Structure 1
Amino acid sequence: MLSGRPPTTQPGIDQLLDRLVSGSSRQKRSTASALEKVSEQLPEKAEEALKSYSRDGDDWGAGWILQILQRHQPAALEAIPGVSGGWFHAPSSLDIDYTHLQQALLREHFEEADRLTSCALRELAGEKAVQRGYVYFSEVPPMESLDLTTIDRLWVAYSQGRFGFTVQARLLSALGGRYERLWPKIGWKNEGVWTRYPGSFLWSMDAPEGHMPLVNQLRGVRLMDALLQHPGLAIRT
């Protein structure tokens, strides 16, 4: 006996790509999962679809299209102009090359990306920070806004908007600025002290929102506080 219900029609890849551009945040998240299921159709659509996104922005729709190809059709990436050098523009006031960071994020090698981010922060802090191997909170305010924005944009763009300094800043603000409430929410240890032991972190998209990049809290919250309040990032929050 027929139920009388019309058959369910699954959206085609063109509809999915349109939703990824113009849908609400919730729609985009559900669309991302659906788009991966039709990954075999994406190579012939990807280059045209990417024209809807700005290479100067951080729209994770573009990042996700590239990551789906990387996951399932990596050879197809070679046909897209600019991917080998980083599809998103990544300018630097200090001529720092962020190609390796962008490639690590594209490939979802988040542990490598985190280490590259730490290295970049030391470069931005100056030669003394590079030599000692870590950044003082007092070295953060003079950091170049353009570079911090570039680093944050890349993390946001290649994480479905889940990771990045500005993501952490928004979560902290929603929690009344209370770090003791932020740590467990983003999957960090309650004492806020992070050192890199193997297996201590979830280096994948399945990590809690705001989980990365990591900031060592061994000397308290002042370093992270300085980063999240930097003017270059504050205007993006």
Structure 2
Amino acid sequence: MLSGPPVTTTVSAEQLLERFLAANPRQRRTLLAQVQQRAAELRPLLPEQIDRLDATCDDWAAGLLIQLLVSVDDGLTQAFRDRYRDGWLAVTSAAGLDYAPLQRALIDQDFEEADRLTSEHLRQLAGEAAVKRGYVYYSEVPPIASVDLESLDRLWVVYSQGRFGFSVQIRLLRSLNGRWDQLWPRLGWKQGGVWTRYPRSFTWSLEAPEGHLPLVNQLRGVRLMDALLSHPGLQQRVSA
């Protein structure tokens, strides 16, 4: 008996979405390209699905689906923005800061603006003196409320496919046994305290190395970044 050509089975958009959300992190990475390629099919399914997801989580799958949804300027996108004016992810601030502009920038993948806002928030969290001088002293980091650093980190993780965030930088540093000199090349940063915000000095996209963003001022050495990544609130996120 002659056999015919192999039958190619393509899962439906509904099945692909279900499979993506049910997958573990490693499996999601393998499905990522397929999900992005079929964004046009998936978009009509996303508003209802996003409403059902846990907005208190830090699951980057949710952030990816939101970014796919808003990738086209149409009624679906406008309805989402109207429904979630402050952003979908539930974040809080002990200092009373408004993280909505940061969340909107991350949703739109405007990582340069998001990085600028994150630096501004860190100065606000460090206190009035840090705001006035324009940068944070390492000694001003320990008193910062854990919930605020957790909120900043969750925003970056969720809207970067898990590639950016302070917790990502902590994991990388741990994998290098605390070797700061080895961390800079991994992050795509210049070693030796060179730090600038000129756009061409950094990669403001998901093409950047893992942990590339957010930036931390290194003009005064590693003390500030060490204090930040050593903060109990962020350490707990990595250990959880």
TM-score by length of 2: 0.92
Q: 2:188 touches 2:208 (CA, 8 Å); kept in 1?
A: yes
Q: List per-residue Cα deviations over 1:125-156 (Å, max 9, x = no partner).
A: 00000000000000000001111100000000
State yes or no: 1:9 paired with 2:9. Answer: yes
Please give the secondary structure, in 1, of the residue aligned with 2:79: coil
Q: Which amino acid aligns with 1:112?
A: E
Partner of 1:69: 69
Structure 2: give runs of 5+ residues left out of the alignment: none
- 1:78-157 correspondence runs (5 A): 78-80=78-80, 82-157=83-158
Q: List per-residue Cα deviations over 1:186-217 (Å, max 9, x = no partner).
A: 11113242111230111001101000000011
Q: List per-residue Cα deviations over 1:65-92 (Å, max 9, x = no partner).
A: 1111222355412223643220011211
Q: List per-residue Cα deviations over 1:25-56 (Å, max 9, x = no partner).
A: 22212322211222222332112222452101
- 1:160-199 correspondence runs (5 A): 160-199=161-200
Distance 1:3 1:178 in 2: 59
Q: List per-residue Cα deviations over 1:10-32 (Å, max 9, x = no partner).
A: 23222221232221222212322
Comparing 214-223 with 66-75, which one deviates more in the overlay? 66-75
Distance 1:23 1:74 in 2: 29
Residues 211/16 of structure 1: CA separation in 2 closer, same or farther (3 Å cut): same
Residues 76/236 of structure 1: CA separation in 2 closer, same or farther (3 Å cut): same
Number of aligned residues: 236
> Could you say which structure has the higher helix fraction?
2
Q: 1:188 touches 1:211 (CA, 8 Å); kept in 2?
A: yes
Partner of 1:209: 210
Identity of aligned residues (%): 53
Q: 2:106 touches 2:156 (CA, 8 Å); kept in 1?
A: yes
State yes or no: 1:232 paired with 2:233. Answer: yes
Comparing 117-126 with 21-30, which one deviates more in the overlay? 21-30
TM-score by length of 1: 0.93
CA RMSD of aligned residues (A): 1.7
Please give the secondary structure, in 1, of the residue aligned with 2:54: coil
Structure 1: give runs of 5+ residues left out of the alignment: none
Comparing 27-36 with 163-172, which one deviates more in the overlay? 27-36
Comparing 34-43 with 107-116, which one deviates more in the overlay? 34-43
Instruction: Return the offset for 1:5.
Output: 6.1
